[in-house]
A = this chain, B = another copy of it.
Amino acid sequence: MPQDPHCLSLLARRLAAHGPLSNEDHAAIFALPCDVRTLDAARYIVREGEPPSICAVLISGFAYRQKLTSDGVRQIVSLLIPGEPLDFQSLFLSVADHSIQALTEAEIGFIPRPQMHALLVARPAVARAVLINSLVEASIGREWLLNVGRRDARARLAHFLCEFAVRMDAQGLGNSGGYEVPMTQEQLGDVLGLTAVHVNRTLRALEGDGLLKRDGRRIIFTRWADLRAEADFSARYLHLDQTAPAGAAQPG
């Protein structure tokens, strides 16, 4: 199987942010085989209920984790941005409890499970970083639960926009001119537990109040501090001190 230095360096950088890795750790990561494929938007990467098969890193584009109720209503439970590991939990569990789908066209590096597993056994520091990565994801999940359970549509949407911006910044994907939110209003609704119609109204309300400007799907933060206040946003739950070398810069 081929290797892909870019994919592996993304992975190494992400893991190194969660804890110091030795030269040997780095070398072991860079020895991984890695098959890069480009998937169209909406393609499934993992399907709920299936036995785990893959172990992947998102190189470019976006993906999400989703669950469905029996009557087909969707909830997006996690948004994955470039550089993030995709399905390392499959190394340890025997069925997928959720699906993973490409949100946009996405480049994904596939690493065979046996090699990844061997790496984690041989290199405890790497295993530790993978564990921390999953703890941070779980923390984000808890904040989403608070968001969906206890904040109204306006704060909920604002909160998501803040989180997206801060996470992108922390991954070094910041963009001072604003952010292209890579999803339709329907998908935003699926993240927030709202309908597309209400997302639309809420977005326009925020825009109408001057808290942001929009240009297509690009969001420009005109009054970041105010938006953040409306969102009741604090970056603590992102554990950025254990995710990025330095704290994330504020967008805007």
Residues of A in contact with B (beta carbons under 8 Å apart) = 48-49, 65, 67, 69-71, 73-75, 77-78, 89, 92-95, 97-98, 121, 124, 127-128, 130-132, 134-139, 141-146, 148-151, 155, 192-193, 232, 236-237, 239, 241-242
Q: Are B146 and A77 within 8 A (Cβ)?
A: yes
A interface secondary structure, majority: helix
Q: Are A92 and B128 within 8 A (Cβ)?
A: yes
How far, in Å, is A117 (CB) from chain B's closest CB? 10
Contact of A239 among B97, B155, B193, B237 (CB under 8 A): B97
Q: How far is the CA of A230 from the CA of B74 in the complex (A)?
A: 17
How far, in Å, is A121 (CB) from chain B's closest CB? 7
Q: Are B75 and A150 within 8 A (Cβ)?
A: yes
Contact of A89 among B97, B135, B149, B150 (CB under 8 A): B135
Q: Are B151 and A69 within 8 A (Cβ)?
A: yes
Contacts of A65 in B (CB 8 A): 142
Q: Are B143 and A67 within 8 A (Cβ)?
A: yes
Q: Are A92 and B150 within 8 A (Cβ)?
A: no
Q: Are B239 and A135 within 8 A (Cβ)?
A: no
Q: Are B146 and A69 within 8 A (Cβ)?
A: yes
Given contacts A93-B239, A242-B93, contact A138 B146 (CB under 8 A): no
Q: Are A150 and B239 within 8 A (Cβ)?
A: no
How far, in Å, is A169 (CB) from chain B's closest CB? 19
Contacts of A145 in B (CB 8 A): 67, 75, 77, 141, 144-145, 148
Given contacts A127-B127, A142-B67, A148-B149, contact A95 B236 (CB under 8 A): yes
Contacts of A74 in B (CB 8 A): 150
How far, in Å, is A201 (CB) from chain B's closest CB? 18
Closest to A148 in B: B149
How far, in Å, is A67 (CB) from chain B's closest CB? 4
Given contacts A75-B145, A138-B141, contact A132 B93 (CB under 8 A): yes
Contacts of A142 in B (CB 8 A): 65, 67, 77-78, 97-98, 141
Contacts of A131 in B (CB 8 A): 92, 127, 130-131, 134
